[in-house]
Amino acid sequence: MQPVPIPRDIDEPVTLLLWRADEFVPFFLVVAFGMLLGQLVPALLISWLTVRGYRRFRDHRPDGFVLDVLYWYGLSPSLGRSFPNPWIRIYYP
Neighbours of 14 (CB within 10 A): 8
14, containing H or E segment: none
Q: Residue 93, SS3?
A: coil
The pTM of the full predicted model, rounded to 2 decimals, is 0.62
Q: What angle do CA 52, 53, 57 make, to 5 degrees?
A: 120
Q: What angle do CA 40, 43, 48 make, to 5 degrees?
A: 130
Q: Where are the domains of the chain?
A: 15-61
Residue pLDDT tens, the chain, 93 long: 788 766 666 666 777 777 788 888 888 999 999 999 999 999 999 999 998 998 898 888 888 788 888 888 888 776 667 777 778 888 887
